[in-house]
Structure 1
């Protein structure tokens, strides 16, 4: 009986040792294997990517607010068509960028991480509220809301040209400084699309 108990104990010890040895390499192997797609997307980003998404989301949101006014305030069919195309293009982009920010563990409402000095209130004062280049001030948005007809069309085009120019500036910074391939690709698409729309709006302005 004594020999049997000692044999069982020895076998158990060998089994536990074997399990421990089998788990150790497995854990090491996981560390060496490429992460899943989601983990890779989360890891492959830098402060420029975060700043781009955090600034571009509210930038796009304001463009949607401006474009939404065209349906009831505008009088030019081409202006209304452009505004509708802006909504169709930028709303999905907002969803994509908010998805990235969630993966990266940040929010679209917090100040851009690339603007850390802004929190001190001593530098980059224009960026303290998270507003990017080309963003309309509140009084400008009120003026646009109160306009109608040809006046609205003219004001909308002038303001949206400035708005697009600001977005292009932000997107160029992302292309130059970002690390996330998807974010940089979106930035390039924004540059291409909005430069084309700027040229279109400049043409419409001349025709009004």
Structure 2
């Protein structure tokens, strides 16, 4: 059975990068180590200056602004919904390509939720919660609470997806996830232009790159290009 369903477009939102954030952090650590080594090589007279420079670099790396907080607090529930959608594919999708895509989305975005939650905790900011969980499954997620965010599905959308199966699910899942990804790209683009925290901006860059590629992939699966 095939279903053609046109989802109501909302302001055009999700994926990828705990690894990118880790890589940036590692690079900063290596850079700090490089400064220390340079100070030692130059002589003990520069050791204090090198340590001060490293401390200054660390402080700069940890600097963040309101946009960084908004990015993390918005992208966490956005990712949570993507995970909820992806987990439905395991026993509802008929296409192996859809199952594979959903698995990749889950593997990329679950670690990103953990990373962003860590940032917010370190900054003393509220971490979005859903069903009492932010880092694993999200039973009973309140979709209405974030339905105004770019690309977010409302409760009716999610209910229809949960009830679908086979080819009807595939079509609905891909259509909804394209919209969801477009919203994530929009949010990440704003972070890239207005954010201050390096790891958050790096994650945003990865989200734009990865999810734009997945949008192309999903359109192909729908036969649109």
**TM-score scaled to structure 1, two decimals?**
0.71
**Max Rg structure:** 1
Pairing 1:204–2:221 present: yes
Q: Larger relative contact order (C-alpha < 8 A, sep ≥ 6)?
A: 2
Pairing 1:82–2:104 present: no
Give the distance between the partners of 1:136 and 1:93, measured in 2 at CA. 20
- Distance of aligned partners of 1:70 and 1:38 in 2 relative to their CA distance in 1, 3 Å threshold: farther
Pairing 1:158–2:167 present: no
Q: Could you say which residue in structure 1 is the equivalent of 2:113?
A: 94
**Deviations 1:123-154 (Å, cap 9, x if unpaired)?**
xxxx9748520000011000000000000000
Give the distance between the partners of 2:126 and 2:147, measured in 1 at CA. 12
Displacement of 1:37 in angstroms is 9.1
Unaligned runs of 5+ in 1: 1-28, 111-126
Kindly indicate which of the two structures has a greater share of residues assigned to helix. Answer: 1
Give the distance between the partners of 1:53 and 1:93, measured in 2 at CA. 10
Alignment of 1:1-208 (within 5 A): 33=52, 40=59, 43-109=62-128, 129=146, 131-206=148-223
RMSD across aligned positions (CA): 2.6
8 Å CA contact 1:55, 1:131 repeated in 2? no
Give the distance between the partners of 1:92 and 1:146, measured in 2 at CA. 28
8 Å CA contact 2:61, 2:198 repeated in 1? no
8 Å CA contact 2:147, 2:154 repeated in 1? no
8 Å CA contact 1:55, 1:130 repeated in 2? no
Unaligned runs of 5+ in 2: 1-47, 130-143
Detail structure 1 runs of 4+ shifted over 6 Å in the superposition: none
